Amino acid sequence: MSTEFDADVIVVGSGVCGSLAAHRLGKAGKHVILLEAGPRVPRWKIVEKFRNTPVKGNPNGPYPDTSYAPKSDSKGYLEETGSTKNNPSYLRLVGGTTWHWAGACYRFLPNDFKMQTLYGVSRDWPISYEDLEPYYGQAEVELGVSGPDDADQSATGRAGTYPPRSTPYPMKAQPLPYMQERADAVLSAAGYRVINEPTARNSRPYDDRPTCQGNNSCTPVCPIGALYNGSVHAYKSEAVGVKLMTDAVVYQVEADGAGKIVAVRYKSPDGSEHRLTARAFVLAAYSIETPRLLLMSNIANSSDMVGRNLSCQPECHQNFMTSEALWPGRGPVHPQTFFTARDGEFRRERAGTKHVVVNNSPNDKIAGNLLKKGIIGPRLDEMIRDQASRIMELSTQHEYPGEPSNRVTLSTTRKDALGLPTPVVHFNRDNAYFLAGFEDTKRVYKRVAELFGATEYSPLTWVHPHTQGTTIMGADPKTSVVDPFGRAHDHPNLYIVGPNVLTTTGTVNPTLTAAALALRTADAVLHSI
């Protein structure tokens, strides 16, 4: 390493994507600094806070909320101006947002990369499934994914494994809890395609982490580390010599007159400012904070696409009371998926979907509802026992096309505790393609309720997980922010990783794809320096 620079590579953000990239670069002998806005927090502290929180439902609940690096739901931080509250739920601490994820690790399908060519909607990716396939395999090994080797995950009735894989899952799929066994039997008989969800969760001891014990608190925290999160690679990075610097809020990426990035500037919690130089830079601050940083720095935006195409996978939830006892809440939260529309000609007209029979423990929700109705004493006890055994929660995430008007911008009136403009999210969930997909979801819910003899329904509720698209990948610098290797079109030594680079959302969770892309980008950085 030359003494001309503080590091060969500076990575901003120690979530799964930044930490995977830092680890790969550090392992290859590069001098890497990993800058993280939030603090280091040991798992036991998060678990203790979760145990002591009376309301368990907020995934962000047990995580630090510092004034210098606010998380998404910090009071007065993120402003929403669209007709739909997007509520992008993200964390700021070493390891990032996967601390409270469910761990679903699907690969995209080959067709997901060719949406415009095949179905005339959205965009084509500038890379193919085949380009990414080896990196999917590497990401599955790094994260420790357990999954079904022989499943047709396209749910289109293909014989054998699909999408094609050159390597097996590192671990076998976990056994299903009772409710999922019943759901498998009933839904399969009705013609739905049921799949054991591939997850970054240990079905045997793996990578010095234990086997899943079925504690069912995956979201917001796995108490024993059987579920992967980004801190695994943040700390592995340190072990291979990467310098992990916490409480370092990067607020500016500095370019020289020729467009080459020369430094990043960060603030410490006391407001002091620091500058670090490197040969190459990787931004990994996730889908709201990465565009915010680029906009604050006024770089990488000749296309005017930074912050635009903000997308997610709008996810509806509905509960039913089934006629039989299913006993949800045993085992991990998302052991199973069923597909009715993952891929096919229908995608010309409507969004693809992924349905889940959710396995969250329902007891606190049920008790709260009954108490609100004034039910107490032995009757309350009896009703909790009955309803907690019979409740079935369905959730469905929908593909959502990126639209330039859905976007992240900077506030012109508000600043955070460090004096930096706060992020503004503008999101309207009114896309006709998505709405047509949702109509299909309503039909599926009706049918599933009938199959389980359900009578009572709760109102539908929505969340918007899997924020993505705000620094979109494309071949054309006029309509995208990064090239097929994650390099900013405008700057030869600036790279961006995270779900924010995904060209389209697909019908499945994005993080495995983002992780595979991050490893591919890390290789591109290695070749460039």
Ligand X SMILES: Cc1cc2nc3c(=O)[nH]c(=O)nc-3n(C[C@H](O)[C@H](O)[C@H](O)COP(=O)(O)OP(=O)(O)OC[C@H]3O[C@@H](n4cnc5c(N)ncnc54)[C@H](O)[C@@H]3O)c2cc1C
What residues are labeled active site? Answer: 466
Which span (90-98, 181-189, 305-313, 315-323) binds ligand X, by CB under 6 A? Answer: 90-98
Q: How far is the CB of 285 from ligand SF4 (least distance, A)?
A: 26
217 binds, among ligand X, ligand SF4, none (CB under 5 to 8 A by kind): ligand SF4
Between 94 and 226, whose beta carbon lies closer to ligand SF4? Answer: 226
Pick one of 5, 8, 10, 18: the residue that binds ligand X (CB under 6 A): 18
Question: Rule CB under 6 A: which of 391-430 touch ligand X?
Answer: none
- Tokens for 520? 């591919």
16 binds, among ligand X, ligand SF4, none (CB under 5 to 8 A by kind): ligand X
291 touches ligand X (CB under 6 A) = no
Q: How far is the CB of 511 from ligand X (least distance, A)?
A: 3
101 binds, among ligand SF4, ligand X, none (CB under 5 to 8 A by kind): ligand X
Between 224 and 383, whose beta carbon lies closer to ligand SF4? Answer: 224
Answer yes or no: are the C-beta atoms of 485 and 496 closer than 8 Å: no
Between 96 and 484, whose beta carbon lies closer to ligand X? Answer: 96
Burial class (CB in 10 A: 0-12, 13-18, 19+), 285: buried
Identity of the amino acid at 349: E
Q: How far apart are CA 242 and CA 10, in angstroms?
A: 10
Question: Rule CB under 6 A: which of 239-278 touch ligand X?
Answer: 249-250
Characterise 271 by phi-psi region: left (phi > 0), alpha (psi -120 to 50), beta (else).
Answer: left
Q: How far is the CB of 216 from ligand SF4 (least distance, A)?
A: 5
511 binds, among ligand X, ligand SF4, none (CB under 5 to 8 A by kind): ligand X
70 binds, among ligand SF4, ligand X, none (CB under 5 to 8 A by kind): none
Count of alpha carbons within 13 angstroms of residue 466, beta-carbon side: 26
528 binds, among ligand SF4, ligand X, none (CB under 5 to 8 A by kind): none
Q: How far is the CB of 91 from ligand SF4 (least distance, A)?
A: 17
Q: How far is the CB of 173 from ligand X (least distance, A)?
A: 15
Q: How far apart are CA 31 and CA 276, in angstroms?
A: 13
Characterize the bridge pairing of strands 171-172 and 146-147: parallel
Characterise 310 by phi-psi region: left (phi > 0), alpha (psi -120 to 50), beta (else).
Answer: beta
297 touches ligand X (CB under 6 A) = no
Helix (H, G, I), strand (E, B), or coil: what is residue 409?
strand
Q: How far is the CB of 244 from ligand SF4 (least distance, A)?
A: 24
Would you say the C-alpha torsion 194, 197, 203, 206 has a positive or negative sign? positive
Pick one of 289, 416, 440, 490: the residue that binds ligand X (CB under 6 A): 289
Between 335 and 423, whose beta carbon lies closer to ligand SF4? Answer: 335
Answer yes or no: are the C-beta atoms of 473 and 518 closer than 8 Å: no
Between 275 and 385, whose beta carbon lies closer to ligand X? Answer: 275
Binding site for ligand SF4 (CB under 6 A): 201, 212-218, 222, 224, 226-227, 332
170 touches ligand X (CB under 6 A) = no
Answer yes or no: are the C-beta atoms of 215 and 223 closer than 8 Å: yes
Q: How far apart are CA 360 and CA 408, in angstroms?
A: 32
Which span (86-94, 134-142, 238-246, 383-391) binds ligand X, by CB under 6 A? Answer: 86-94
Q: How far is the CB of 218 from ligand SF4 (least distance, A)?
A: 3
Q: How far apart are CA 268 and CA 246, in angstroms?
A: 9
- Tokens for 406? 């859905």
Q: Report which residue's Cβ sits closest to ligand X.
A: 15
36 touches ligand X (CB under 6 A) = yes
Q: How far apart are CA 13 and CA 36, in angstroms?
A: 5
Question: Rule CB under 6 A: which of 437-466 touch ligand X?
Answer: 465-466
Q: How far is the CB of 53 from ligand SF4 (least distance, A)?
A: 16
**In sequence order, what are the residues at sequence separation of 6 or more whose Cβ sits closer than 8 angstroms to the Cβ of residue 84?**
427, 428, 429, 430, 462, 464
Would you say the C-alpha torsion 348, 350, 356, 357 has a positive or negative sign? negative
* Rg from Cα positions in the chain: 22
Answer yes or no: are the C-beta atoms of 487 and 524 closer than 8 Å: yes
Site string for ligand X, 50-79 (x = CB under 6 A): ---------x---------x----------
Q: How many CB atoms lie within 10 A of CB 207?
A: 14
Which span (26-34, 148-156, 322-330, 505-513) binds ligand X, by CB under 6 A? Answer: 505-513
Q: How far apart are CA 508 and CA 495, in angstroms?
A: 25
Answer yes or no: are the C-beta atoms of 20 and 519 closer than 8 Å: yes
Between 107 and 201, whose beta carbon lies closer to ligand SF4? Answer: 201
98 binds, among ligand X, ligand SF4, none (CB under 5 to 8 A by kind): ligand X
**In sequence order, what are the residues at sequence separation of 6 or more whose Cβ sits closer than 8 angstroms to the Cβ of residue 41?**
63, 64, 93, 94
Question: Site size for ligand X, by CB under 6 A?
Answer: 42
201 binds, among ligand SF4, ligand X, none (CB under 5 to 8 A by kind): ligand SF4
Q: How far apart are CA 400 and CA 389, in angstroms?
A: 34
Between 162 and 286, whose beta carbon lies closer to ligand X? Answer: 286
The single residue listed with the structure tokens 């006391």 is 270
Q: How far apart are CA 178 and CA 328, in angstroms?
A: 8
Question: Where along the sequence are the contacts to ligand X (CB under 6 A)?
Answer: 12-18, 35-38, 59, 69, 89-90, 92, 96-98, 100-104, 219, 230, 249-250, 284-286, 289, 293, 465-466, 498-499, 509-512, 514
